């Protein structure tokens, strides 16, 4: 098997060879046809491993292709009950069920293995969650403070450039760290490869370009054209966890809420554009959302903010 999460030692002992073949084909489909990111593949792998381990224990033996095809509504409900018993949140349980459904859709379409029971299963109800962006002042404070935590000037410049891309261009952290040197903008726009290898063009503000150029000038490593733009202390492509840890320190220093994560800067980009009259369709393109519904959620953020301002302004004491 090609990818670690679905070929891990936790999964293999629980699969018969015919079921393992199905998993390999599904994995290949996710990676090559769906073009799922490594992050998505990891999440699918963890969720599906848990499902297979449950079935193996539930039925007392290796999971076969026939067993997968004949799982009943009761079996699937037992799986969800086991997830809840482990303390999994409703969102985590819903995601795991979505992974299982994805697998069953794949084997039905590609292998003709139908299981109607999975279609009858309803996932847990999820609370409606609205993105929690930073205020403009808080986002600006993060930009100004992030570099103060680094001991080396080049790392300070690197972290500042990354935050500039997240907030100034609305990038996901994985998109920013995937940028290679030959993708660094020389003009006013930049091509970004997003989820499922979908390409989009984003404008690059002068301040963002300046931050990148400052980092490049200070970086002690030779940054090759086909190599990563952002590197760690040993010269390899920077790990997202490093950025997340730095953001956590900034959050503590500035007294920001736990929701102030690197991804919150992308939410902030969208919300602040919208509050300044940005068009939803344009924001959708800038964010790389496949569906406008994913972008429309920011209108709820903006409305909630207006209501909060109104409430504070007219609240009676």
CATH code assigned at 187: 1.10.443.10
Whether 144 and 258 share a structural domain? yes
172 counts as catalytic: yes
Q: Computed from CA positions of residues 46, 195, 286, 185, in that sequence, does the dihedral angle turn out positive or negative?
A: positive
In a domain, 100, yes or no: yes
Q: Are 132 and 264 in contact (CB under 8 A)?
A: yes
- 195 among known catalytic residues: yes
pLDDT digits (tens, 9 = 90+) for 62-90: 999 999 999 999 999 999 999 989 988 88
Among candidate residues 158, 266, 267, 272, the one labeled active-site is: 266
Whole-model pTM: value is 0.60
List the catalytic residue out of 195, 200, 216, 237.
195
Catalytic: which of 172, 209, 251, 267?
A: 172
Of 25, 101, 263, 305, which residue is the catalytic one? 263
Do 172 and 253 lie in a common domain?
yes
The domain of 8 spans 4-120
Q: For residue 127, what is the DSSP state?
A: P
Catalytic site residue from 298, 305, 310, 315:
298
SS3 124: coil
Mean pLDDT of the region 224-235? 94
- Residues 109 and 147 occupy one common structural domain: no
Q: Are residues 145 and 98 in the same domain?
A: no
Structural domain includes residue 52: yes
Whether 46 is a known active-site residue: answer no
DSSP reduced 3-state for 189:
strand
96, 120, 144 - which closes a domain: 120
pLDDT at 312: 47
Is 298 part of any domain? no
Task: Classify residue 157: in a domain, yes or no.
Answer: yes
User: Does residue 195 surpass a pLDDT of 80?
Assistant: no
76, 96, 120 - which closes a domain: 120
Catalytic residue among 34, 83, 251, 289, which? 289
The pLDDT of 277-290, averaged and rounded, is 75
What is the distance of C-alpha 225 from the center of its chain?
26
Closest residue by Cα to residue 208 from 167, 152, 261, 256 = 167
Respond yes or no: is residue 35 known to be catalytic.
Answer: no
How large is the average pLDDT for residues 158-169?
A: 93
The answer to the question of residue 53 being in a domain is yes
pLDDT > 60? residue 24 = yes
Q: Is 298 a catalytic residue?
A: yes
Number of domains in the chain: 2
- 263 is annotated as an active-site residue: yes
């Amino acid at each position: 098997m090609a990818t670690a999460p679905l070929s891990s030692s936790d999964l293999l002992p629980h699969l018969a060879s015919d079921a393992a073949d199905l998993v390999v084909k599904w994995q290949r489909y996710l990676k090559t046809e769906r073009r799922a990111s490594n992050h998505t593949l990891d999440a699918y792998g963890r969720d599906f491993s848990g499902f297979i381990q449950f079935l193996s224990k539930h039925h007392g033996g290796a999971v076969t292709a026939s067993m997968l095809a004949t799982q009943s509504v009761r079996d699937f409900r037992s799986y969800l009950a086991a997830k809840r018993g482990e303390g999994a949140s409703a969102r985590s349980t819903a995601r795991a069920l979505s992974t299982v459904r994805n697998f069953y859709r794949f084997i039905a379409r590609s292998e003709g293995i139908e299981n109607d029971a999975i279609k009858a299963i309803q996932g847990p109800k999820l609370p409606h969650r609205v993105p929690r962006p930073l205020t403009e002042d808080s986002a600006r404070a993060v930009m100004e403070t992030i570099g103060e935590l680094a001991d080396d000037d080049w790392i300070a410049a690197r972290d500042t450039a990354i935050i500039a891309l997240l907030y100034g261009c609305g990038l996901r952290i994985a998109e920013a760290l995937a940028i290679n040197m030959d993708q660094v903008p020389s003009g006013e726009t930049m091509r970004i490869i997003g989820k499922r290898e979908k390409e989009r063009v984003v404008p690059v503000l002068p301040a963002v370009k300046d931050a990148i150029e400052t980092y490049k000038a200070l970086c002690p490593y030779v940054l090759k054209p086909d190599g990563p733009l952002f590197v760690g202390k040993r010269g390899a492509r920077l790990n997202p966890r490093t950025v997340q840890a730095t953001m956590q320190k900034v959050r503590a220093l500035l007294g920001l809420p736990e929701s102030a994560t690197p991804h919150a800067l992308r939410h902030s980009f969208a919300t602040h554009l919208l509050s300044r009259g940005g068009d939803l369709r344009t924001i959708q393109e800038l964010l790389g959302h496949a569906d406008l519904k994913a972008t429309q959620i920011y209108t709820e953020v903006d409305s909630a903010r207006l209501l909060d301002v109104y409430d504070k302004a007219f609240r009676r004491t």
